Amino acid sequence: MLRESKVREESWEFSSEESVIRKEDTNMVHRILNYMPERDRTCLIMKFSGFSYDEIARATGVRKASVGTVIARAQARFRDRMLEMKGSEF
């Protein structure tokens, strides 16, 4: 109970600088996801939204046994694209 009330008391506000950085990061994630093939994008979004591999398989038409591989490859492509984009900012 004490822990819950302490969490509620903490401020979740961000400084102006933090807000700008968070918005830029969010925009980058959206750009990367839009750049990716639909299947990869859907798998990643569903995975990080808490869907099971079975649900992801049914939604994407990927065999359940292959969902983990598809997600791992999509994550690698996402990471690579993010590094490319961040590198071009400097």
Q: What is the pLDDT of residue 14?
A: 67
Is residue 9 over pLDDT 90?
no
Give 61: exposed, middle or buried? Use CB within 10 Å, 0-12, 13-18, 19+: exposed
Q: How many domains does the chain have?
A: 1
- What digits encode the pLDDT tens for the residues 46-71? 999 999 999 999 999 999 999 999 99
What CA–CA distance (Å, rounded) separates 81 from 61? Answer: 25
Please give the share of the chain, as a percent, with pLDDT higher than 90.
61
The reply to whether 2 falls in a domain is no
The reply to whether 59 falls in a domain is yes
The reply to whether 5 falls in a domain is no
The reply to whether 67 falls in a domain is yes
The reply to whether 17 falls in a domain is no
The reply to whether 13 falls in a domain is no
Give the structural domain span for 45. Answer: 38-90
Is residue 32 over pLDDT 80?
yes
The reply to whether 16 falls in a domain is no
The reply to whether 14 falls in a domain is no
Is residue 89 over pLDDT 80?
no
